[in-house]
Amino acid sequence: MNRSPASDSAHSFVSFDGETPPTLQTSYTRQLLYTSMRTAVPLEKPPYSYVALISLAIKSHPHRRMTVAEIYRYIEDHFPYYNSLQGNAKRGWQNSIRHNLSLNTCFIKIPKENMLCCSDRKGNYWTLAPDCDNMFSDGNFKRR
């Protein structure tokens, strides 16, 4: 059966250099954003949990730590569905990110005030707990 790009799902993953990272080399992530942009197909929510999205963001950073704002930006830049949301829907997923960071023991809060590197010492960085660092080592970031 031949499938046109317009009939494919509108899921996408876009990185800064236009390539998909090796940890996300799946048929889902190889689909192009322009499919949904050039057709009337709305973007669909990616099949990844918020824990997986946060983990992907943190693991992408050279120092393996990010602020909440940096995590939001990573998710919006790499998963256009979240960038397309506005108003309550946008606040909703961002609240879910904060909720997961605060309550999931896989994430550790590091106050900036404890770090010598930061000129702006307000706020916090978030990183992965050492025992959770390999939770997606099999490359499966999708919800169960």
CATH of domain 5-132: 1.10.10.10
Q: What is the mean pLDDT of the chain?
A: 76
- Dihedral-angle region of residue 123 (phi above 0 means left; psi in -120 to 50 means alpha; beta otherwise): left
- DSSP summary character for residue 55: H
User: Would you kindly state where each structural domain of the chain is located, as residue ranges?
Assistant: 5-132
pLDDT at 118 over 70: no
Mean pLDDT for the stretch of residues 73-99: 96
Q: Which residues pair with 110 in a beta bridge?
A: 125
- Give tens-digit pLDDT for 124-133: 999 999 988 7
Mean pLDDT for the stretch of residues 1-18: 43
- Residue 105's pLDDT band (boundaries 50, 70, 90)? very high
Structure tokens at 127: 């990183």
pTM greater than 0.75: no
